[in-house]
Amino acid sequence: MSDTLLVTGASGHLGQRVIAHLLDTNKVPANKIIATTRSPESLSALAAKGVTVRKADFDNAASLSTAFAGAQRLLLISTDTLGRPGHRLAQHKNALEAAINAGVKHVVYTSMPMPKNSPLLIAPDHLGTEHALAASSLTWTILRNCWYMENLFMSLPQALADGKLYTAAGDGKIAYISRDDLGRAAAAALACHNGNKGIYTLTGSEAFSTENIARLASAAVNKPLDVIQVSVEDLIRGMVAGAGIPEAIAVEIASFDTNTKVHRVAAVTGDFRALTGIAPQKLSEWLAANNATLARA
């Protein structure tokens, strides 16, 4: 391995797992890894291991070429900006332009399943970034990451406490995959020497409806859990009135259910195994490993 690998957003949950898999699974020497983040002070443990840690904020375009200098392959982790349509795409375009200026050859990007013509309100940012990559001089790998099993932490603890899980997703299914598996796949894509263009849709080994999830979670923590199907409008009203979530954010969150309902995150693929050589973690295993956290509420 002679290429220097750079991971943006390295202090995020996914970024940390990617760096761990680069070091431990792919045996990339620490001095061949650059970790960029808005908060370098939070990565002092990585710096102590010999990883180069630099500050990079996609909102500060002028600083990025220096931050990316010396890297040949770069993992662009999509940012978490919500409620500002188009801002994330502008951030990603800043990063891509800086990568080209810094001499980066290959970019790996974390996208989402089926971003084209999607009812999901964050989809245009992902599709726009994919298009920007395709139009660039870079070679690229697009990782269309299905939804994290860890997203269930956002809904299940409260639902288990109330005994009710509200959804507007109908019988739509989600091919959940663990965040650690996505970190493993991203590390494999970044570390491999294959410069060919490619799109991988990374999913777990099975897709689950909300009813399926409720039954599994209920059994895992031994508490009753009923699924309550509601309209998207009622889901939004519940988030705004019940949980105090700003309406623009609630509308964005509810569009995930609309997207699920029309079966856009249900397809199971073998792409995770193709990249990593192993099977993804099963949801039942993940639930068993996390039932204490899920039952806490």
Ligand X SMILES: NC(=O)c1ccc[n+]([C@@H]2O[C@H](COP(=O)([O-])OP(=O)(O)OC[C@H]3O[C@@H](n4cnc5c(N)ncnc54)[C@H](OP(=O)(O)O)[C@@H]3O)[C@@H](O)[C@H]2O)c1
Query: What residues line the site for ligand X (CB under 6 A)?
Result: 8-15, 37-39, 57-59, 77-80, 91, 110, 145, 147-148, 151, 179
- Residue number, 79 or 258, with CB nearest to ligand X: 79
- Residue number, 1 or 264, with CB nearest to ligand X: 264
- Residue number, 80 or 135, with CB nearest to ligand X: 80
> Residue of minimal CB distance from ligand X?
9
What are the tokens at 46? 């990585």
- Exposure b/e, 128-145, CB count within 10 A at least 16 = b: bbbebbeeeebbbbbbbb
CA separation for the pair 270, 173 (Å, rounded)? 17
The conformation of residue 72, written as its DSSP 8-state character, comes to: S
Q: Bridge partners of 143?
A: 110, 200
CB 79 to ligand X: min, Å:
4
- Residue number, 66 or 195, with CB nearest to ligand X: 66
Burial category of 292 from C-beta neighbours within 10 Å (exposed 0-12, middle 13-18, buried 19 and up):
exposed
Contact in structure between 272 and 202 (CB atoms under 8 Å)? yes
CB 217 to ligand X: min, Å:
17
CB 129 to ligand X: min, Å:
10
CB 88 to ligand X: min, Å:
7
Contacts of the segment 293-296: beta carbons below 8 A, 24+ positions apart: 293/153, 293/157, 294/152, 294/153, 294/156, 294/157, 294/160, 294/217, 294/220, 294/221, 295/157, 295/160, 295/221, 295/223, 296/157
- Residue number, 58 or 272, with CB nearest to ligand X: 58
- Residue number, 154 or 297, with CB nearest to ligand X: 154
- Residue number, 148 or 208, with CB nearest to ligand X: 148
CB 84 to ligand X: min, Å:
11
What are the tokens at 93? 């375009």
CB 150 to ligand X: min, Å:
7
| CA distances for 174 relative to 39, 138, 168, 257, 262, angstroms | 33, 32, 13, 10, 11
Query: Which residue do the tokens 């290959």 mark?
Result: 106
CB 222 to ligand X: min, Å:
27
Contact in structure between 104 and 5 (CB atoms under 8 Å)? no
The conformation of residue 76, written as its DSSP 8-state character, comes to: E
